[in-house]
Amino acid sequence: MILRNAVINYWMKNRAVAQIHYLKKNKVQIIEDFNEEEVSVRVEQFLVNYIDSLLIYSLKGNHFKEFPSLPFVMIDSRVTLYYLNSETQVITICMPEYENEEMGYFSFLSPIGLQLLLKQVGDSVTLGECSKLQDATIQSIEFSSVEN
């Protein structure tokens, strides 16, 4: 059990570091992809908050003891949403190159991805297009390796 925990701890820290590296390396391009200046400023601040949260998470190895459960939605998360109409939906937040909305894979840069990142179990969110907004509650958050 100790070896398993050590391997998970090491692996999850590496995943967090890889995400931080990707976001820092591509930060300018990510922000430029959002045309409106007001949105770009919000996205930039959001990326800073996300990177800070990942750094804190990766430094506190005690969070990994609940693996595969995660304390908040991050890239590589499988999120179970519970809608007010009693339906559930499972979606995965991923890197842009793995996005496939029909299969339930949403880029962290998509509107749904941006709305869910950093949310926790029990948080309420409003998701969807302007004409089809739906209220949902986050039921669970688990790690999901999209690449494998």
Give residue limits of the domains in the chain.
Answer: 2-66, 77-143
Over 90: is that where the pLDDT of 118 sits?
yes
User: What is the per-residue pLDDT across 45-76, written as a single tens digit (0 to 9) for each?
Assistant: 888 898 888 888 777 755 555 666 788 999 98
Task: Judge whether 66 and 85 are in contact, CB under 8 Å.
Answer: no
User: What is the per-residue pLDDT across 92-107, written as a single tens digit (0 to 9) for each?
Assistant: 999 888 999 999 999 9
Distance CA 18, CA 32 (A): 21
Mean pLDDT of 119-137: 87
Of all residues in the chain, the percent with pLDDT exceeding 70 is: 79
The answer to whether domain 77-143 has CATH 3.10.50.30 is: yes
**Which residue type is seen at 103?**
M
